[in-house]
Structure 1
Amino acid sequence: MNKVSRVTVQIIGGANVASILLMLLIGNADKVDPVVWPKLSNMGLFFPIVLAINIFFLVFWALVKVRMTIIPLLGFIVCYGPVRRYCPLNLPSTPPKGSIKVLSYNVYSYAGWEERDKPNAILQYIKRQDADIVCLQESSENEVGSVQVDSILGKVYEYKDTAKNKGDCMTIFSKYPILSKERIRYKSKGNMSCAFKLRVRHRDIIVVNNHLETTGLSLDDKEQFQQLVKGELGGRAVTRTSKWLINHLGRQTKKRAPEADAVARYIAYHSGVPMIVCGDFNDTPLSYAHRIISKGLVDCYVETGNGPGISYHRSRIYVRIDNILCTPDFKPYACKVDKSIKNSDHYPIMCWLKL
């Protein structure tokens, strides 16, 4: 190898090390308090980019200078925690007999404005899944009609309960008796978390259904974001839109933090009770909200799922913001995000739990 190529290798190697340090920094964005540092707390959104860069370096070194692959490989080891939370890889697991199937789904008001002359696709999907416990977010029945909801799902589920906060609505369907419900108190104009106590095979468990503070992006905002991603905005427009987006997401994350704190306090207060915590967190696996809520819990997708598990899929925004967590009383199996139904802006997430 001549002198020039050695210098080139050193420069590229330095760039690889820098990308690993950046990946480590961004991968630990969940440690940043959004109330104090709202903008920095959203760094986790950029983790897929730095992860892809390190994968590129791994392929590059494998083709150009094999012994240098040690750099990106060490990067994956150093960043193992955030890499696994973002994109877990697990062996297939078969749910044992007697497992409880749990489905969590932001149903987007059942997309009731679509094909009104046909049976609602989301309701039919939920019926086919035949889960034991179904937690829904944005489950207002105004568009689809309560008669249709009850006629389709009432045949499968003996127990149903709802919680409402202004325009928001969440619903639980259960094959097990619902004993009580309790709103988890936090300040929000339209989002909420609600705990339902269920009797499952002579044991009481708690199911916490969450719909935390949204990103607050309007249709116009999402359109601008799409243009930004496609490269359709001019120089100044790119800067202006990027700054606005960072500031806006920071404000929403700051609102979401105390909601997550309230849910975490509720979970800690009921320590010792078997608990399932699920729903739309509106935040990524590398976020403060996810970290603070999942403390002491098992993330069923990280434990048994595979891949990034994208659950929000509209407007060129692709993130996993829907979750199923559980206390160690349960053993999770075969958690997955089901991309077979696209009527909502979210995909459903499901898992089997053995109590």
Structure 2
Amino acid sequence: MKIIKLVQKIIPFVFLIFTSLIVIFSNKIPPSKLWIASFVSNLAPILIVLSIIIFIYSIINRNWISSLFLLVLILIGFDHITTTIQLRNIDYSSIFTTPKRFKVLSYNVSSFRIPPLFSPNYYKADSNLNSIFIKDYISNSDAEIMCFQEFFNDKNSKLYNNIEDLASNKGYNYFISNEPSHNGTTRGLVIISKFPIVNKSNVFISENGYNGACFADVVTPSKDTLRIINAHLESMKIKAINYGFSANIYGKIKYILWAFKHGSIEREKQISKLINCTKLSPYPIILCTDLNDTPYSYTYNELNKILNNSFEYSGRGFDFTLNSESLFFLRIDNQFFSKEIIPLYSTSIQSFNASDHYPVESIYAID
């Protein structure tokens, strides 16, 4: 009878551990092989938090066998904890006395939140306050290197000639991933540098012309050359359900699953190209990116194999980056760096909410 009771107590914990192990290791599976694994991997933080709560409860109730099982599970999933939250103390005084330091800004500017292209409001400054706020924020930034995703430029507009206002007129160097269209507008990726740019190129541009990656090799005042990569990976386009895609709940769920599958598989292809560019670089790398994926994903895991994440090495708290009422708990904007670079500090600027994303600022030094 005692054995039966013991088994009854252990079975729920064994089930939790088995399920959690599947979730924890699902980010090792390429979405093209099993796309649902990309969905399942996002459950990792929930299961780990649940495991910690039950572990504490088991300790209090002196259930040592269950506690042991849960402790092993928590240790196995510890990497998922450190990608979620950092509790370090930061010595701010030492940051600004470190030689050869520089700041990098990465920011998805959401096309500067412009009104519909060439609509009446497009030409009115008072209808474009977010655009003005974003531009002012960038203009006042002391970052030596700036990477922007979803950048918008209209060379024929005084209000939206952002390349001229943020780079050319200041004497900064820049690279933009796409050429202007027939109407003078450009959307894409931009790298702006106060340091000289000695080489620049696209890594890939997706079929939609919207997502992609590019790089610029910059030379710092200490004569070190760095490769700055700016990437914006495939979106899942979940916002489409808010714009009348389907009034039917079943239709919305079906669309979300299709979008998740499509986005995950496309990001797998894109991350392969990005990693190849990284491996071929002759210089230390800083990668600024809107991954459109969480720290528990295949995409993030693949990058973390070859580069370090600035939040994990020099951030604090949760550092969420998505400006959203419903998905505020996501960190999809990141900076990664190679081992030759020293991370000093990294944070998302959550007090500035003019875009759908928060700016991510990191300070580095060169070894």
The TM tier, using the shorter chain, reads 0.7 to 0.9
Does 2:51 match 1:39?
Answer: no
Q: Which has the higher contact order (CA 8 A, sep 6+)?
A: 1
User: Is 1:338 the equivalent of 2:349?
Assistant: yes
- Alignment correspondent of 1:245: 256
Please report how far the alpha carbon of residue 263 of structure 1 lies from its aligned counterpart in structure 2 after TM superposition: 0.7
Tell which deviates more after alignment, 306-315 or 33-42. Answer: 306-315
Seen in structure 2, the aligned counterparts of structure 1 residues 307 and 241 have a Cα distance that, compared at 3 Å, is farther
Equivalent residues of 1:91, 1:304 under 8 A apart: no
Deviation per CA, 1:96-119: give whole Å up to 9, x if none.
Answer: 243111111101012234954657
TM-score (norm 2): 0.81
Q: Give the equivalent residue in structure 1 for 2:296.
A: 286
**Contact 1:309–1:320 (CA<8 Å) still a contact in 2?**
yes
Matches within 5 A, 1:87-106: 87-94=85-92, 95=95, 96-106=98-108
| In structure 2, distance between residues paired with 1:24 and 1:335 | 30
Q: 2: CA distance between counterparts of 1:140 and 1:354? A: 31
> For 2:306, what is the secondary structure of its paired residue?
coil
Per-residue deviation, 1:315? 5.8
Amino acid of the residue matched to residue 288 of structure 1?
Answer: Y
1:213 CA displacement:
0.9
Query: Structure 1 vs Structure 2: percent identity of aligned residues?
Result: 20
How far apart, CA to CA, are the structure 2 residues paired with 1:304 and 1:20? 31
Measure how far apart 1:19 and its partner are. Answer: 2.6
Contact 1:222 1:315 in 2 (8 A): no
Change in 2 beyond 3 A, CA 1:223/1:306 = farther
Pick aligned residue for 1:132 from 140, 144, 164: 144
SS in 2 for 1:273: coil
Deviation string 1:36-85 (CA, Å, 9 cap, x unpaired) is 21222232222232123223313433554475544433322121122222
How many positions carry a matched residue from both structures?
A: 341
Aligned equivalents of 2:362, 2:298: Cα separation in 1: 23
Give the drift of 1:182: 0.9
- Greater CA deviation, 294-303 or 66-75? 66-75
Amino acid paired to 1:170: L
2: CA distance, partners of 1:14 / 1:223: 45
In structure 2, list runs of 5 or more residues that go unmatched.
116-124
1:230 aligned partner: none
* 2:367 maps to 1:352: no
* Residue equivalent to 1:220: 241
1:277-306 Cα distance to aligned partner (Å, 9 max, x none): 111111112222222233321111111223
SS in 2 for 1:28: helix
TM-score, scaled to structure 1: 0.83
CA RMSD of aligned residues (A): 3.3
**In structure 2, do the counterparts of structure 1 residues 222 and 267 end up closer, same or farther at CA, with 3 Å as the change threshold?**
farther
